[in-house]
Amino acid sequence: MLVFWKQNLVFLSVPKTGTTAYEKALAPLASMSVQDPPELKHSPLFRYNRFFRPMFEKVCGQEPEILAVVREPVSWLGSWYRYRRRPFLSGRPNSTENISFDEFVDAYCRGDTPAFARVGSQAKFLEPRPNGTNVTHLFRYEDQAPLIAFLEARLDCSLDLGRENVSPTMELELSAKTRAKLERKFSDDFDLWESSAR
């Protein structure tokens, strides 16, 4: 999570949406850069609302706008799946090394989700709060140009982004049956991604 106080902007770090590259490029411009622990770096909107927003409002008399990036849900799950196939997770309950992508997504859709498929939900991560706290600026991972243009204008900078924390490349197959199940059970995630179109 990055806080740009003078520009009245908070950049939430939604996992698996390429935000690490932005954090690396923009951290020198930020008033606050939360990198660790992961639970704070990747603070969902509810955690931001509970801990960070009151501090900004009460101590500083200001409530920043909130920016976030979302990714097409199947692609987002694919990134999690590839990440959890890395050798350093071998033998652990959250490893996907001996599981197909279709099995991973099917398990993700279960009520009692196994450890290897517990990756949360982008819609839950960015769910508006009862007090009105909401994401102000929502961008698509698949279309970086509007996000870059927004940040360069808002922060008065020129962005030079590298590739950071990239999951290994591989072909992933998802059956029509499993995709239909995913679209039904996580319709909010698909709706959120559709709403991010600019």
Half-sphere exposure of 173 (CA within 13 A, CB side): 3
The total of other beta-carbon atoms located within 10 Å of residue 26's CB is 19
The total of other beta-carbon atoms located within 10 Å of residue 36's CB is 7
Q: From the CA atom positions of the chain, what is the Rg in Å?
A: 17
Query: Looking at domain 2-195, does it have CATH number 1.10.10?
Result: no
Alpha-carbon distance 63 to 54, whole Å? 8
pLDDT at 167: 66
pLDDT at 187: 97
pTM: 0.91
pLDDT at 140: 96
Please determine, for residue 166, whether its predicted confidence score (pLDDT) is greater than 90. no
Q: Which of 54-58, 167-171, 182-186 has the lowest mean pLDDT?
A: 167-171
Domain ranges, ordered by start, for the chain:
2-195
Please determine, for residue 164, whether its predicted confidence score (pLDDT) is greater than 70. no
